[in-house]
Structure 1
Amino acid sequence: MLNPVNPYIVLDELCLQATTRTIATLKILHQVLEQQSQAKPLDFSIATIGRLSHQQGGPSIQTIRNRTGKHFKELIEAWAAYSGTTCKKPLSVRQKQLLNSNDQNILGSVDDPVIRAVMGTLIAERNKYRDQLNVLKANADIFIDRTQDQQTDVLSSMASLTPIELESLRTAVSADFMERMHWTVMPTGQVKDEDGREVYRRGYVNGLRKLIDIGNKL
């Protein structure tokens, strides 16, 4: 999995195209999220963040949920991913107790001690993988290791690029091309037009440049 983008970089990008008033609220929200990243349990749900933010003069729950609150949600999602969790409300103590109680009831119904021990191990593994899955869902960008053979296939495909095709890739991410299109490349590889609208999502330019570097070395 790719490392989550540093939320400080996301904040800088969001502020570049924002009004003075929006920048102020973004910074308040950022401070709330930074404080929340140190709290236990980690809770980056909109309900919790919106309540804390509103108390400090930042965007409210409804403001964040509105269609115009996309930039606020992006910052919250960035902090959640960076902290290794999601924007889902964490389970309460009572909910965890109920889940544990159900597991105990299942184990308690098994008379054979060997089978009970095996089931206990399986339940523990299930809980661990479920938690890991929830963390993975927090990231939109997931890198899958496709083994060495498939990596070789990628290199072979890059080697088959003609000089014209490789030059086209260079042009697609060149400073001259971006300037002619009046586009801006953000530090995270995202491309925005002159009105601040997203043309290519985060990672686009950085990914193409990595491919070009591979092609240059072949």
Structure 2
Amino acid sequence: MQTDIHPDNVLVALLAAGGRPAKLKNLKLVHEACRRQNERNSRDFSFRTISKYTEEQGGVAYRSMYNTPEYGKLIEAWQAYAGPADPTPRARKQTPVAQSFLARIEDPAVRSIMEGVIIERDKLRGENNVLRSLPRGIIDKRPLGATIAFPEEASPVAVVNVGARLTESERQALKKAIDAEFLADNGWVEGPHGEILNERGRTLFDVGFASAVRKVLED
């Protein structure tokens, strides 16, 4: 927001309030730094920029300037007097086809909306082209432990090694399930065909159970 109140009047009021000689001197230095910025048509009245000049002149440093309200009031007066910076519109490159299309739209509001749509489309198109230019990666989705087999006159296939997919705890659990000592402790026994029987001879695990577990562990 711009104001017609000249910062000279603000400086006069601050000096009239009195204070230590060093502070009054620094107010004048801050005022001079802001005046120089305004003459350059610069809208940079930040504490960092103004303190560079005052420090070069042996005056107030950045931290003291930031912590002293009077300096801030004077700088704010210059900011309000100078007004906001003129917006610099970004150049928008458009194809002749897009320019021709927009030129046929008479309503300014609709034309502005469509211009934004075209800019967003061109942006997405550019991002898509960048992604297409990147090297393509290959994601291996084969199951853990799978190997590649090459059968004759056929495409390569993944062969899953069941044993290779077991974790160490799973492997130890299967070993214990058919361990003779473990079976004996529970009153069980392995039958002649791999079945597991209890102390009464009843089948707990069907024929082939123990042999199937061994095959998995040996795989």
Shorter chain as denominator, the TM-score bin is 0.3 to 0.5
Please tell me whether Structure 1 or Structure 2 has the larger radius of gyration of its CA atoms: 2
Greater helix percent: which structure?
A: 1
TM-score by length of 1: 0.40
TM-score by length of 2: 0.40
